[in-house]
Amino acid sequence: MYRRLSSILFPIAVIVLIGSIVWGYQEHQEKNAILIKAENQYQRAFHDLNHHMDRLYDELGQTLAVSATSQGMQRKGLVNVWRLTSQAQNEINQLPLALLPFNKAEQFLSRINNFAYQTAVRDLTKQPLTQQELKMMKSLYTAAGTVNKELGTIQEAVISDHLRWMDVEIAMASENTPHDNTIIDGFKAMDKQMGEYPENEWGPSALSTDRIRSAKGLQGKDMTAEQIKKKALDFLGASGAGKEPKVTEAGSKTDLPAYSVTIAGTGGSTTELDYTRKGGNLLWYLNSRAVKSRKLNFDTARNKASQFLLRHDYKSMTPVTYDEYDHVAVFTFVKAIDNVRFYPDKVTVRVALDNGEVVGLQASDHVFAPKLLTPGKPKVTKEQAQKGLNPDFRIQEYRQAVIENDMQKLVLCHEFIGKINDRNYRIFMNADNGTEETIEEIPDGAKPIYK
């Protein structure tokens, strides 16, 4: 009996064993194929990065070498610089460097990219490169040479020692293994060198594109949680009477320490407010209650929003757009200075259409808006600026306005609101030279408010 049983089970066991070996071999082969494919992708991205950084260095040098009057060649060179930095940034993102402290080198590429783009899109015949910008380009050229040298060292080691990027990924993923991989050490050294590069060498035009909202731009003293609680109850007025807010500190180790205030409401709703710790400025407010019906018209809702802003000391604000969803009207207001709209200073107000209660306020742009006392006078007339518009653009409203351009500089403009190709647009024409500063499409839902 046992002999008969073994004669049946033994072949089955052999078949299972062989099947397991074959399956394991196939799994091993598939895993190797995936690893080889990943390694090949890493190697391609790394060598492409070296190639594009080398070309970037050459392109910066060639752009500096041309005559100051050769604006066409300068523009061509800057466009190439912008394209090459974009490619280099893409290739860095394909490498397993997420866990490395590589932010300084990435910031270097980002600043070159921003500078090249912002400079190339302007009219260099009217606004040629300044001495400060040329000086900064020389600094970028020197820094690019430093990056290239480090990358070249890493590339030589990769080729001569047959280093694998998969080992980098494994080393970075391991919590116990010391990160002494040659590639890792090379990228760390490069990032350290970029971090030691003098910050002021970048110049204000490059730094302005990286402006970060922080407490440094605010006035006033640091507020306590109790002071913030009082401010929140004062802001809410009757709707906050008799309620106990919960105040928590947020972002204490960031550039913008803040307080979050939460008040429980009825029916599962909550009221939330965020304040900056420095100065106690309200960033936003939201009452999450459901609005189930629409009883108020546009004019009544707009008046409710305007009265709310005046009551809370948001002065000289004028409505510019209107939207509506879920029985809530959403108005965007901007500052008006001498009848000129100042777009960087804006707030968004949400009005419940069942009873006119303001159930939301977004005020962070107002808190961090640059200070402007007077918008100045245009050098180009409305009629002169209008000649630069597309003949098919149907103007529906005109005014003067101040905006921030791509370099985050304040610019006085002639603002034309109108329609072309069945779309609503705002076109801002520079009031100093009559050129198009920027064009904004007005979404279908966000209706412009005409005066």
Tell me the per-residue pLDDT of 386-438, one tens digit each, with 9 for 90 and over.
999 988 999 999 999 999 887 678 999 999 999 988 888 899 999 998 888 88
CB neighbours (10 Å) of residue 163?
18
Burial class (CB in 10 A: 0-12, 13-18, 19+), 221: exposed
Residue 318: give the domain boundaries.
225-367
| pLDDT top residue among 138 and 447 | 138
- pTM attached to this predicted model: 0.61
Q: What is the pLDDT of residue 116?
A: 82
pLDDT of residue 114: 79
Q: What is the DSSP string of 367-411?
A: HTPPP-S-----SS-HHHHHTTS-TT-EEEEEEEEEEE-TTS-EE
E strand or H helix that includes residue 334? strand 328-337
Residue 347 and residue 390 in one domain: no
**Model pLDDT, residue 228:** 92
Confidence of residue 203 (pLDDT cuts 50, 70, 90): very low
Q: What is the DSSP letter of 238?
A: G
pLDDT tens, residue by residue, 24-41: 656 556 666 666 776 777
Query: Could you tell me which of 390, 380, 370 has the C-alpha nearest to residue 413?
Result: 380
**Percentage of residues in the chain having pLDDT higher than 70:** 75
Quick one: which of 385, 386, 393 has its CA closest to 424? 393
| DSSP string across 86-125 | HHHHHHHHTSS-TTS--HHHHHHHHHHHHHHHHHHTS-TT
Mean pLDDT of 277-306: 92
360 and 388 housed in the same domain? no
**203 and 267 inside one domain:** no
The whole-number average pLDDT for the span 261-281 is: 87
Q: How many CA atoms lie within 13 A of 27 on its CB side?
A: 6
Note whether 360 and 430 are same-domain residues. Answer: no
70 shares its domain with 171: yes
Indicate whether 372 belongs to any domain.
no
Which of 210, 240, 271 terminates a domain? The answer is 210
| In the predicted structure, residue 316 carries a pLDDT above the cut 80 | yes
Nearest to 260 by CA among 270, 249, 271, 252: 249
Q: Provide the number of structural domains found in the chain.
A: 3
Residues 386 and 334 in one domain: no
Put residue 8 in one of left, alpha, beta given phi > 0 → left and psi -120 to 50 → alpha: alpha
Given 311, 338, 367, the domain boundary residue is 367
CA dihedral defined by 97, 100, 104, 106, rounded to 10 degrees? 10
Q: Which of 367, 393, 422 is the last residue of a domain?
A: 367
Average pLDDT along the chain? 79
Q: β-pairing, 246-250 with 258-264? A: antiparallel
Q: Are residue 250 and residue 205 in the same domain, yes or no? A: no
Mean pLDDT in residue range 94-98: 65
197 and 256 in one domain? no
- Residue 256 has phi, psi (to 5 degrees) of -135, 80
Q: What is the radius of gyration, based on Cα positions, of the chain?
A: 30
